[in-house]
Structure 1
Amino acid sequence: MNNIKKGIKGEVEAVNYLISQGYRIMDRNYRTKAGEIDIVATKSNILVFVEVKARTTTRYGYPHEAVNRRKQMKIYKSSLIYIQHKGFSDYQIRYDIIEVLLNGNTRINHIKNAF
């Protein structure tokens, strides 16, 4: 499975997981001049910006380890643009990472308040 297919499958799995947990998906692959946000979701009055990382192995580390400070800043800056553009100023904000391990048995690890 190539990286693009892994990414797409990982995002689909993450969306399905979030919906099963009571989240409402607002946007996917939201692009700004600052970067891209994989998933934007809400639950109660919390607006959640989700970075999805999918891997087939942990041989080179866990997926969340790929979300470095630079990537976090891109997501943060993009989230500010999103909030302003979409009018979510009354919501609490949270930044999560969802790890998806695609090695036969799909496993999901939802890291809330990841950064």
Structure 2
Amino acid sequence: MNNNRNNGIIGENLASNYLLEKGYSILERNFRTKIGEIDIIVKKSNIIVFVEVKARSNTNYGFPYESVNYKKQQKIIRTAQNYINFKGLTNCQYRFDIIEVFLKENGNKINHIQNAFWT
């Protein structure tokens, strides 16, 4: 397994645990369609949250959130719309978050960006 994929798995696990600690309920992990994938889908206070997780061991190539460009956002939005339709959640509120996970030897850091982008 390559290092980026391994970091991604670790990051998603840390993000999931973080969200659970913050009172979110996990509905799905790695929801996939032909269009794309959503890392984590959670619910809190009747709001469905579609979460993109980006894990990095350094910022040599920028901050993790910077890799969620317009094209990636559009794929996530279309995949989320697919999920909403599939589950029949037409009367729900939802938002798109990014969780940055900084993997460090002396302890990991999580940065939760709520409402990171909109439809």
TM-score by length of 2: 0.94
Residue of structure 2 in register with 1:73 after alignment? 74
Matched, 1:64 2:101: no
Give the residue type in structure 2 aligned to 1:55. Answer: R
Matched, 1:16 2:14: no
Residue of structure 2 in register with 1:108 after alignment? 110
Q: Which secondary structure does the structure 2 equivalent of 1:57 belong to? A: coil
Q: Distance in 2 between matches of 1:23 and 1:45?
A: 10
Unaligned runs of 5+ in 1: none
Q: Distance in 1 between matches of 2:90 and 2:108?
A: 35
TM-score by length of 1: 0.97
- Could you tell me how far 1:26 is from its partner in structure 2? 0.2
Q: Which secondary structure does the structure 1 equivalent of 2:10 belong to? A: helix
Matched, 1:29 2:25: no
Unaligned runs of 5+ in 2: none
Which stretches of structure 1, 4 residues or more, deviate above 6 A after TM superposition? Answer: none
Q: Which stretch has the larger CA shift, 48-57 or 58-67? A: 58-67
Give the residue type in structure 1 aligned to 2:92. Answer: Y
What do the CA deviations read for 1:37-89 (whole angstroms, capped 9, x no partner)? 00000001100000000000012210000000000000000000000001222
Aligned residues: 115
The root-mean-square deviation of aligned C-alpha atoms, in Å, is 0.9
- Could you tell me how far 1:103 is from its partner in structure 2? 1.3
Residue of structure 2 in register with 1:52 after alignment? 53
